[in-house]
Amino acid sequence: LTQAASQYYKPVYTPATRVRQLGPLKVADKPECQLACDCARQNSTNCSSFNPPIPRSNCMAYFYKDGKCALLGESAFGGCTVKNTEYVLIPDPCLNYNCSNHGKCAVFEGWNPYCQCEEGFQGENCE
């Protein structure tokens, strides 16, 4: 999985109707998954092997596992799926989160930023 700078792919729940619309795509191997991403962006003319055709989307990255491929990023439907998980591109939660005294921003599983403080500092922003 690749990530755009200052952005993350956040997993969110996907209803069954969107799973049917968005995939996952069955592919032979990882290079075919990459080709699907290229075809979704319309960056390849070698897309005739996909039937039905790959829906147009702003594929920023792809996820491949066990013959299944998800095109990740903002698509015409607002996201992309693998099984019952939808991935949407979000800004980096740490982008505007300030930590003092050389503290480093990190992100919990719930996508909430927090500060990891250097030794000797504590508090929400390591003040």
Q: What is d(CA 56, CA 45) in angstroms, rounded to the nearest whole number?
A: 13
Say if residues 62 and 25 touch (Cβ distance below 8 Å): no
Higher pLDDT, 69 or 12: 69
pLDDT at res. 14: 66
- Tokens representing residue 29 in the block: 């191997």
- Check whether 38 has a pLDDT greater than 60: yes
Q: What is d(CA 60, CA 89) in angstroms, rounded to the nearest whole number?
A: 9
Say if residues 1 and 9 touch (Cβ distance below 8 Å): yes
- Check whether 50 has a pLDDT greater than 80: yes
Say if residues 60 and 4 touch (Cβ distance below 8 Å): yes
* pTM for the predicted model, two decimal places: 0.51
Q: How confident is the model at residue 62 (pLDDT cuts 50, 70, 90)?
A: confident
Exposed / middle / buried, residue 24 (Cβ in 10 Å: 0-12, 13-18, 19+): buried
pLDDT at res. 1: 38
Q: How confident is the model at residue 5 (pLDDT cuts 50, 70, 90)?
A: very low
For 79-97, what is each residue's pLDDT tens digit?
A: 565 556 666 667 778 888 8
